[in-house]
A = this chain, B = another copy of it.
Amino acid sequence: MSAPSLDAQPINLAALQSRIEEVLHGFLDAKTRAAQDLTMPADVPTVLQDFLTAGGKRLRPLLCVLGWHAAGGQGDDTAVVRTAAALEMFHAFCLIHDDIMDSSVTRRGRPTVHRTLADQHGHDHLGTSAAILIGDMALAWSDELLHTAGHPPHRLTALRQVIDVMRQEVIYGQYLDLMTPLGPITDHEAALQVIRFKTAKYTVERPLHCGAVLAGAEPEVHIALSRYALPLGEAFQLRDDLLGIYGHPDHTGKPVLDDLREGKRTVLIVLAAQRADTAQRKLLDTLLGSPDLDHDGAARIRTVLDATGARATVEDMIHARRVQALTALDAVPYPQPAAAALRHLAARAVERTS
Task: Tell whether, in the assembled complex, residue A160 and residue B147 are in contact, meaning their CB atoms are under 8 Å apart.
Answer: yes
0/1 interface trace, chain A 128-160, chain B, CB 8 Å (1 if under): 011011101101110110010000011011001
Question: How far apart sit A100 and B114, CA to CA, in the bound complex (Å)?
Answer: 14
A147 and B164 contact, CB distance less than 8 A: yes
Interface presence of A103 (CB below 8 A): yes
Q: Which of A169-177, A207-215, A316-324 contacts B (4 or more CB under 8 A)?
A: A169-177
State whether A143 touches B143 (Cβ < 8 A): yes
**A168 proximity list for chain B (CB < 8 A):** 137, 140-141, 144
With a CB–CB cut-off of 8 A, which chain B residues contact A179? 41, 130
In the complex where A39-B193, A147-B157, A179-B41 touch, is A133 in contact with B164 (Cβ < 8 A)? Answer: no
Counting chain A residues whose Cβ lies within 8 A of the other chain, the interface size class is 35 or more
Q: Are B97 and A136 in contact (CB under 8 A)?
A: yes
Neighbouring B residues of A172 by C-beta, 8 Å: 35, 38, 40-41, 44, 137
Inter-chain contacts of A344 with B (CB < 8 A): none
CB within 8 Å of B: which of A24-47?
35, 38-41, 43-44
**How many copies of the polypeptide does the oligomer hold?**
2
> Which residue of chain B is the closest to A166 with respect to CB atoms?
B140
Interface residues of A in 98-126 (CB under 8 A from B): 100-101, 103, 121, 125-126
A6 near B: Cβ within 8 Å?
A: no
- How far in angstroms is the closest Cβ of chain B from A39? 7
Inter-subunit contact A175/B143 (CB<8 Å): no
Task: Tell whether A182 is near chain B: CB-to-CB under 8 Å.
Answer: yes
One of B43, B130, B139, B147 near A139 (C-beta < 8 A):
B139
Question: Residues of A with Cβ closer than 8 Å to B?
Answer: 35, 38-41, 43-44, 97, 100-101, 103, 121, 125-126, 129-130, 132-134, 136-137, 139-141, 143-144, 147, 153-154, 156-157, 160-161, 164, 167-168, 171-172, 174-176, 178-179, 182, 193, 197
20 pairs from A and B in contact (CB 8 Å cutoff):
A35-B172, A40-B172, A40-B175, A41-B175, A44-B171, A100-B132, A121-B182, A133-B174, A133-B178, A134-B175, A136-B171, A139-B139, A140-B171, A141-B168, A143-B160, A143-B164, A147-B160, A147-B161, A147-B164, A156-B157
